[in-house]
Each structure stands twice: as structure tokens, then as C-alpha cells.
Amino acid sequence: MTVSNQEKDEMNADAFAEDAGEDGDGLGLTEPKSEPEERDALSKPKGEKRENELSKLKSENEELVKTLKRLQAEFENYQKRVEKEKAGLEERGKQAMLAKMILLADEFEAASVHMHKSSESELRSGIRLLHKKLFSLLEEEGIKPIECIGRKFDPGSCDAVEVLEDEGEEGIVAKEMRKGYVRNGIVLRHAMVGVTKKKKEDESKNR
């Protein structure tokens, strides 16, 4: 049977169509994507990247919160430890001072027992000695009397309970009725003092 050239051409065309596929996929040819499909294809990697970044930030934030909580707990423990140590130091300081006061109290008691056996001069000497020991003890603890006589009245360390007329400068402490005490710059007790005020001139002299 003889096949014409035209029939050969048609058969070759059919075979090529079967191999290539009717839509042309066999040749690596695809239909162009629509604009929405292109946008989806481009936005998908960006969305995944953003999600990864957010996840990383969330993880870092959680770690930071944990670190801050740990540091806060450590600081609170440190504060408690410092307060406890401070309270312990203050208590030991009080106990040391009280022990000294007890020794001084023993001396006062011994002096009172032998008072009737001592002469007047011995009593005065004993009182001066105890007085000296007492103020030495106060000084060891940083307690000192407020020096105010002859100085300008200071309401921060003195209480004026009397006004004294004087021809000199006004507002000067001229009398001390009760001593005041200060410790490390802090007033423990105000001094009770009398303060000067200028005398009023006789009205007759002004006429």
C-alpha cells in the first residue's frame, strides 16, 4: 500500500502533537500566570520571612522577660540580705554600748554604797570621775554636746525658752538651761536656751 506525501505529513503532525501534548506542555511552554497568581507567588516568601522574624522576636522577648524577672528576684534578695546585715550591726552596736553602760552603772552603785563613808572632797572627786567616764562613753559613740553659748541662735539645734534683754547683738544664745546633744551631725536633743534681745531705749530719751 502506497502512502502519499500528504498522508505522511498528517501522520507526522499527529505523532508530534501526541508527544508534545495538545496544550504544548511537552515543549516546556506554559500559559502565562494571571496577575493575582503572580502577587501570591511574590508575597508568599515575604509572609514566611515576616512570620519567622516575629517568631524570633517573640522568643527573644520571652528570654528578656525571664532575665528581668531573675534579676529582680536577685536584687530583692540582695536588699533583704543588706537590711538583715544592717539590723544585725545596729543590734550588736547597741549591745556593745549597753555593756559599757552596765559597767558605768556598777561604778555608780559602788559609789552610792560607800557614799556615807566618804568625805565631801572624796564625793566631789568621785562624782567628777563618773561624770568624765560617762561623757567619754558618749563620745566613743559619736555623741557630743551642742556648743551654743555665745553663738547665733540656731532653731535647728536649740529651743528658745527665754528672752534676755541685752545691749549687745540680738539673737545670741546667752544662757543654757539644758544641754543638747548631736550624733554624727544628727540632733538627738535640742538645747534649751535663753536668747538675747536688744533693750528698748527709754522713751523719754527719744523725746
pTM over 0.85: no
Whether residue 47 is found in the same domain as residue 64 = yes
3-state helix, strand, coil in the chain (%, to 5): 60, 15, 20
Does residue 4 form part of some domain?
no
Q: Are 191 and 179 in contact (CB under 8 A)?
A: yes
Q: How many domains does the chain have?
A: 2
At 104-142, the pLDDT tens digits run 888 888 888 877 777 888 888 888 888 888 888 888 888
Where among 141, 160, 178 does a domain terminate?
A: 141
Whether residue 160 is found in the same domain as residue 112 = no
Does residue 24 form part of some domain?
no
Where among 110, 141, 172 does a domain terminate?
A: 141
> Which residues constitute the domain of residue 72?
43-141
Whether residue 130 is found in the same domain as residue 150 = no
Whether residue 118 is found in the same domain as residue 52 = yes
At 64-98, the pLDDT tens digits run 999 999 999 999 999 999 998 888 888 888 888 88
User: Which grid cell is 128?
Assistant: 567628777
* Phi (first) and psi of residue 66, to 5 degrees: -60, -40
